[in-house]
Amino acid sequence: MPHGLPIPHAALHRSISNTVGSTPDINWSICIRDAAGRPLVHHNCDAAMKTASVGKLLLLAEVARRCDDGTMDFDEVLDRNPAVHVADSGIWQHLQVQQLCVRDLCVLVASVSDNLATNVLLNRVGLQSVQELGGAIGFTKTALLDRVRDQRGPDDAWTFSVGSAAELSDFMCHLAAKRLISSSVSNELNAWLATGVDLSMVASAFGLDPLAHTEPDRGFTIRNKTGTDAAVRADVGTVERNGTSFSYAVIANWDAGGSDLRDTVVAGMRSIGGALRDLLAHES
């Protein structure tokens, strides 16, 4: 732990150090930044990690960019496409409606990480355009690699998405400052993320209602996106209170063939979230 830090800063460093040190079988990538984008604390932050559904952020950003420049329309209606049907996360697969507009699909992706909505949107814009956007942003470790699949074969990408904590925390920092592509694109993406229902990881420490936190609660505002897969947990977001904000990315990967480490990982993420909450309360 660095010497001479204010107590809340030291506690955040200690929480991350303890979490990483007590979990040798887990590969962590962590980065927390202040509003100016300066890293406050980091661990293995440049490593390319499996990030599961966190990669959907790039898809949402590309859709928002296209709708902003007029090459797509938020009111465009897209069909449920049997060719890209997929199970697991999401609610569209459980609904009767066969068509939804682009804006509604984006909300489904941001709120419940809807896999079917993801694939329909990705089929519309194309994987290459999403990957080109990542390159334009400056990503070298973070990318969407494929559509969501129930099973991955030998000819498919090895995973859905990858990313580093350094790049993803920077992405969230630019988004919070409304400097991600443009202010209008940032506003759209922030509004969608406000509906996200997964506050089970880092964001759990703030005690907000997972189903209703579009407005500040006890002064705290959270915008985040999580990723969950076998041996993957990831949470990237921004927390703000009274004009002070921090952006974070906490990613954990481990051996899917080994022990079930989910509870240990989530406990570590929540500990980091608690220290981040204390820091934000102190600074604001």
Sequence-separated (6 or more) residues with CB below 8 Å from residue 133: 58, 61, 62, 65
pTM of the predicted structure, to 2 decimals? 0.96
Q: Are 164 and 44 in contact (CB under 8 A)?
A: no
- pLDDT per residue as tens digits for the range 88-137: 899 999 999 999 999 999 999 999 999 999 999 999 999 999 999 999 99
Q: Report if residue 176 sits inside a domain.
A: yes
Domain with 261, as residue range(s), is 7-283
Q: Report if residue 2 sits inside a domain.
A: no
Q: Report if residue 38 sits inside a domain.
A: yes
H-type alpha helices, the chain: 7-21, 56-69, 102-112, 115-125, 127-137, 165-176, 183-193, 262-283
CATH number for the domain harbouring residue 172: 3.40.710.10
Burial label for 18, CB within 10 Å (0-12, 13-18, 19+), is middle
Sequence-separated (6 or more) residues with CB below 8 Å from residue 138: 167
- How many domains, the chain? 1
Q: Report if residue 153 sits inside a domain.
A: yes
Q: Annotate 202-239 with b (16+ C-beta within 10 A) or e (fewer).
A: bbbbbebeeeebeeeeeebbbbbbbbbbebbbbbbbbb
Token pair for residue 104? Answer: 């509604």
Q: Report if residue 272 sits inside a domain.
A: yes
Residues 225, 112: Cα–Cα separation, whole Å: 10
Q: Are 181 and 67 in contact (CB under 8 A)?
A: no
Residues 206, 225: Cα–Cα separation, whole Å: 15
Q: Report if residue 64 sits inside a domain.
A: yes
pLDDT per residue as tens, the chain (284 positions): 445 555 678 899 999 999 999 999 999 999 999 999 999 999 999 999 999 999 999 999 999 999 999 999 999 999 999 999 998 899 999 999 999 999 999 999 999 999 999 999 999 999 999 999 999 999 999 999 999 999 999 999 999 999 999 999 999 999 999 999 999 999 999 999 999 999 999 999 999 999 999 999 999 999 999 999 999 999 999 999 999 999 999 999 999 999 999 999 999 999 999 999 999 999 98
Residues 255, 284: Cα–Cα separation, whole Å: 39
